[in-house]
Amino acid sequence: MHILIVIAVGLIALGIFVGAGALTGKTAGLKNAAGIFIWFWLAVAVVYGAFGVFQAGIPVVNEIAAFIPIYGVPGLAAWYLAYKYGADR
């Protein structure tokens, strides 16, 4: 359940990034916002995983297994939006 909550937070954050990019009024703003989110969410997911390992004592294997959907679902959604709203389309 905890993984689903973090994925939902990631999707909400993606919505905020894309919404901010949409305020520019250009499709390139959407692509840039989605691209920035991908790197932002990678940093958040890595720090979140490191916290789980070093502070909560969760085994690294479990954190890697949790990292895949935590980063993957919002990351793939951001990649899709960057591809869909690419400036060359």
Check residue 47 and report its DSSP letter.
Answer: H
Contact status, residue 39 vs residue 76, Cβ threshold 8 Å: no
Tell the residue number behind the tokens 């591809």, with chain if given: 83
Query: What pLDDT tens digit does each residue of the chain (89 aa) get?
Result: 889 999 999 999 999 998 888 888 776 677 788 889 999 999 999 999 999 999 999 999 999 999 999 999 999 999 998 888 765 54
Give the CB-side neighbour count of residue 5, counting CA atoms within 13 A.
Answer: 2
